[in-house]
Amino acid sequence: MKLLVFGKSGQLGLELQRRAGDVTLDVRDEFEADFTKPDTCAAIVTGSDADAVIIAAAYTAVDKAESDEPLALAVNGTTPGAIARAAATRGLPVVLVSTDYVFDGSGTAPFQVDAPTGPLGAYGRTKLEGERAVRDAGGVHAILRTSWVVSSHGNNFVKTMLRLGAERDRLTIVADQIGGPTPAADLADACLTAAARLVADPTTQGTYHVTGGPDVSWADFAREIFRQSGTTCEVADIPSSDYPTPAARPPNSRLDNRSTQAAFGLPRPDWRAGLSDILKDLGAYRA
């Protein structure tokens, strides 16, 4: 099987390349596939000999999106729609990675895949538009919503905590936002599995959730990072109101993963094991 992947240098794109195995990847970087130019990206799909498409590229600067929504919309909404329409014309399944930010973060129960959406900010709105555009394209697709993606690549919470924990004796971390940290390696496996399953059985198309478990606060996530890395830094819990940001964060990012397990045979990954692998990659594992 051959997959056309949009997004080469991000956390997910890099893990897709590491974990592809026997799958051949045609990976396009930001220079070949400018996500501000939907027609250019659609033309890549039209000219591809791939069996399916994975959209791993996205505008993920949550706070910056508040003042730059048109660009975020082009990258997260308009271009994925153009890709999906070109893929539908070719009969190619599409896997789109989406986010917990499409929900309003209310309550304490995990969000079901068919729960009402209600983004709190620009980033969530643009990702929700991408979901709608892919569905409306009329082709076979899987939308994989995820949360709190981390890896040994790029900038993410794990690497930030390692840096700050080495510099300071005490950190104040938000404790009233709860979600599932998701190792990019596990998300990559889910994308590859979903793409293969859609090729073999298009009836498995739909919207799914892929997040690590168990659900945890950012503060407790930080504590586990410090425990596994042997970092002696105290974590003090604070409410979100003590750490204001331009974009509101959903207090409840819990996502129900059961339909993903049923459709693809993928158990919910344990982020603590994934964290160990990330720290080993970084040479920071001490537990």
Residues annotated as part of the active site: 123
Segment (H or E) for 98: strand 94-99
In this structure, the number of other CB atoms found within 10 A of the CB of residue 18 comes to 14
DSSP 213: B
Q: CA 121 to CA 125: how far, in whole Å?
A: 6
Any alpha helices (H) in 105-183, and if so which ranges?
122-136, 157-167
Q: Which long-range contacts (CB under 8 A, 24 or more apart) does 190-193 make?
A: 190/144, 190/260, 190/264, 190/266, 191/12, 191/16, 191/54, 191/56, 191/95, 191/97, 191/144, 192/3, 192/16, 192/19, 192/20, 192/21, 192/23, 192/54, 193/264, 193/265, 193/266
Q: Hey, CA dihedral for 202, 207, 213, 219, is it positive or negative? A: positive
- Encoding tokens for residue 14? 């890099």
